[in-house]
Structure formats: C-alpha cells, structure tokens
Amino acid sequence: MELKEKTLVKKTILNGNLFNVRKDSVQLVNGDIVTRELIEHPGGACVAAFDENNNVYLVTQYRYGQQRSMVEFPAGKLAPGEDPRDCAKRELMEETGYVAGKLVFIGEFVPTGAYLQERIYMYYADDLTLVGQSLEPDEFLELSCMSFDKLIEKVLIGEITDGKTIAMALKIKALKERNLL
Amino acid sequence: MELKEKTLVKKTILNGNLFNVRKDSVQLVNGDIVTRELIEHPGGACVAAFDENNNVYLVTQYRYGQQRSMVEFPAGKLAPGEDPRDCAKRELMEETGYVAGKLVFIGEFVPTGAYLQERIYMYYADDLTLVGQSLEPDEFLELSCMSFDKLIEKVLIGEITDGKTIAMALKIKALKERNLL
C-alpha cells in the first residue's frame, strides 16, 4: 500500500523562537484533502559519555514543557548547517566540560513523528578529557555522574522518563552485550 | 540547586486541531524574566502486544512531521478525560483488532520535555483475542506482525527510528531478561 501524503500547499502560521508551526494542505491516498499541522525544528544531538569506570554523565534541567526537572543525557539543538557530530561534541563540552576521544553514532531517534520535524542523532562517547564547562547565560543545569548499571536500574523502574535517555541507555546496554560497542 | 521556572503569565498564541501553542512569561532562578514556548498536547498511550509465539504487532504509517513512513507500536492520543489504560486498550483494538487479556504499564515516555507537554504511557500486552480492526476514516496504516527478536535486531541496527518504539522494545527486552515481565 502506498502511504505517502502529498503536500499541496505549505503555510507557516507561527514563527516562534524555538520552532515554527505550519498548517499544510495535504492529499491522502484516497484523494481526500485535509490539513496537517507540523512543528518545524532543526533537530539535535544527544551524547552518552562514559568515563573509564563505566560511569555516565547526566544533566538535570527544568523542562518547561513538562513543568518539572528531568534527568537526561546531555543534548542540544543543531545550529544552522551544523553537522550532528559537531553538535554532539559541542553540547558535550558546553554541558559537561568534557571532550571525547571516541564518538560513535548509534542511530536516529524521532520524538514524535506525526507532527514534529525534530530528529535526534544519538552518540556514544568515551576517552574523555576535561576542558571545562561553558554554559550559556540563562542556562541552568546540574551535572551529575552515575554508574551505568544504576542508570539502567532507574530506567527499568520508570524513574527516568526522558525518551531519548531511555532509548540510548538501553540501546548502549544491548550493543555492549553483543560487543558491538 | 533550585531549578524551577516560575510561570508569570500564560498566553495561548495558537489554537490548532492537534495541539495549541503557548508563549509564557517565566522567571528563571536568577530572577531573569524570559519567554518559554510550549506545545499543549493531551498525551497518549502506546502498546507492545505479543502473541503466543513471541511476535509483536506493528503499524506502518505516513508520518507527516518526518515526511516518511515509519514502523511503530500501535499508539494514539488520549481522549479528553480518558484513562491512559483505556486509551491503550482502545488504540490496540482500533489499530490491530486485538483485545488483550493482560495489559501491564511499563512507564512514561517524554518525547521532548523542553517544549512539549506530551507524555506517552507505555504498555506491554499479551493474551490476545481477535475482535477486528476499526480504523477511523482517513486513517491509513499497514498492520504487520514480526518476531520480537527480529524487531530488536531492527532497533539495534538503527532501522527503527520511532523513539517510543525503540524505548519500549528495549525496555521489554531488559524486563523480560530479569523476569520482571
């Protein structure tokens, strides 16, 4: 079955700071014409950085969308034209202060494909060298370090709820078990 | 460190069909006043349903936000006031045609907490009885059934990119390995 929805008209209805909103006119496979709302967002990169003792670096931030603080792997938005790998290095350095000697792409993560353009590029990192954190003004976060096993426990009991952090922690666990990482 | 951002003024700037957009005035921990953009969304439920041969049901849909078809566990949006568990049952029946004798909540999944209210309640299901699919008009999807091991392979090589599907598949794998599911 052909599932593709054909865009007839693209219309931006909101220009935001963080994202734009479009309301497009779209033709479905049965010929019906409907509207589809879409959030334009450049995407981002996220990094699970391991030290030599199998600890990982995590950041705790207030997430306004969820009205609570959340524990996550360091991540951030792609700058215009930025390569996801460079974004991963930059965010890791800014938020944790570390530069990684080894950085491995482990796949894409789509937060919610129905209405969001955002795509997050996931990375595994190790061989870390401390160069110092450089947060933006108005960026407040707590950096912490936790054993990977403890993080996996927290994921499995549902204490970690950030989607990319759940997916990356468990993907790295499974890849390590198969000696693929 | 106190990380909470205090809402001073809530302002809806777009009423959409699928979501609303707010631009709030917010006070940061250092006293600075900034704006925060936020997508209002009721959240949803997602179900990994297993048959007696360890196969799982998947749906392939065109995801307009990503401009491509994606393979995902059946999921859908909470109706107003709907319990996430009832939403999970309803979406499973509508999209796959099955009713589950066993339905276990396995945690929350936040797609992107910075600017999205959406929260997805994740469920494991088995003991399935066929009652028949009931898709909405203008809902087009392909239902498929795949061995759980094959799904895990597809997740690990990066062929599955839907965030909730990656997280749920790997969480169920890890919970099963510990006999917690």
Beta strands A6-9 and A20-27 are antiparallel
Give pLDDT tens digits for A136-157: 888 899 999 999 999 999 999 9
Alpha-carbon distance A176 to A100, whole Å?
18
- Residue among B35, B62, B164 whose CB faces A4 most closely: B62
Buried b (16+ CB within 10 A) or exposed e, A72-99: bbbbbbbeeebebeebbbbbbbbbbbbb
Contact B16 A24 (CB under 8 A): no
Cα dist from A65 to A86, B39, B65, B115, B116, whole Å = 26, 7, 19, 4, 5
Counts for chain A of helices (H) and strands (E), in that order: 3, 11
Residue showing tokens 């349903």: B49
> Measured between CB atoms, which of B114, B155, B174 is closest to A65?
B114
pLDDT at B88 over 70: yes
> What are the φ and ψ backbone dihedral angles of B46, each rounded to 5 degrees?
-140, 140
- B90 burial (CB, 10 Å; 0-12 / 13-18 / 19+) is middle
pLDDT score of A137: 80
Checking phi first, is residue B138 left (phi over 0); if not, alpha (psi -120 to 50) or beta? left
Average pLDDT, chain A: 96
Strands A68-72 and A55-63, by their bridges, are: antiparallel
CA distance A70 to chain B (A): 8
How many residue pairs from chains A and B have C-beta atoms closer than 8 A? 202
Q: Which residues of A touch B64 (CB under 8 A)?
A: 5, 24, 26, 36, 38, 114-115
Q: Residues near B85 by Cβ (< 8 Å), separated by ≥ 6? A: B45, B103, B105, B121, B123
> Which stretches within chain A are classed as H helix?
84-96, 148-156, 163-177
Q: What pLDDT shows up at residue B136?
A: 82
Distance from CA of B123 to the nearest CA of A (A): 12
Orientation of helix A148-156 relative to helix B163-177, angle to 10°: 100
Nearest to B167 by CA among A153, A171, A147: A171
B105 burial via Cβ count (<10 Å: 0-12, 13-18, 19+)? middle
Is B156 within 8 Å of A180 when comparing Cβ atoms? yes
The yes-or-no verdict on residue B35 having pLDDT over 70 is yes
Mean pLDDT computed over B35-63: 97
Record: contact B110-A162, CB cut-off 8 A: yes
- Own/partner contacts of B66-71, CB < 8 Å, gap of 24 or more, are B66/A110, B66/A113, B66/A117, B66/A119, B69/A3, B69/A4, B70/A110, B70/A113, B70/B161, B70/B162, B71/B144, B71/B154, B71/B160, B71/B162, B71/B165
Spatial separation of the C-alpha atoms in residues B31 and B166, rounded to whole Å: 39
- What backbone torsions phi and psi does residue A180 show, to the nearest 5 degrees? -100, 5
Fold of domain B44-177: Nucleoside Triphosphate Pyrophosphohydrolase (3.90.79)
Which residue among B26, B36, B156 places its CB closest to the CB of A171?
B156
Find which of A29, A115, A136, A168 to mutate to test the B interface (most B CBs within 10 Å of its CB). A115
Interface test with A, best of B9, B166, B173 (most A CBs within 10 A): B166
- Chain A residues with beta carbon closer than 8 angstroms to that of B162: 110, 113
Cβ atoms < 10 Å from Cβ of A30:
8
**Closest residue by Cα to residue B37 from B48, B54, B22:** B22
A-chain residues near B109 (CB < 8 A):
161, 163, 166
pLDDT band at residue B1 using 50, 70 and 90 as cut-offs: low
- Whether the pLDDT of residue A1 is over 70: the answer is no
B110 chain-A contacts, CB cut-off 8 A? 63, 66, 70, 161-163
DSSP H/E element including B91: helix B84-96
The percent of residues in chain B predicted with pLDDT above 70, rounded, is 99
Mean predicted confidence (pLDDT) in A45-71: 97
Q: How far apart are CA A115 and CA A137, in angstroms?
A: 31
In angstroms, the CA B181 to CA B104 distance is 8
Mutate which: B21, B62, B133, vs A, most A CBs within 10 A: B62
Calpha distance A67→A161 (Å, rounded): 13
The alpha-helical segments, DSSP class H, found in A7-137 are 84-96
Chain A residues whose CB is inside 8 A of the B108 CB are 158, 161
Contacts of A151 in chain B (CB under 8 A): none
CB contact under 8 A, B152 and A164: no
pLDDT digits (tens, 9 = 90+) for B122-172: 999 999 999 998 888 888 999 999 999 999 999 999 999 999 999 999 999
Query: Average per-residue pLDDT in chain B?
Result: 96
Pick from A5, A14, A38: CB nearest B13: A14
Query: A61 in helix, strand or coil?
Result: strand
Pairwise CB contact (< 8 Å): A65 & B152: no
State the Cα–Cα distance between residues B153 and B91, nearest whole angstrom. Answer: 26
Average of per-residue pLDDT across B55-60: 98
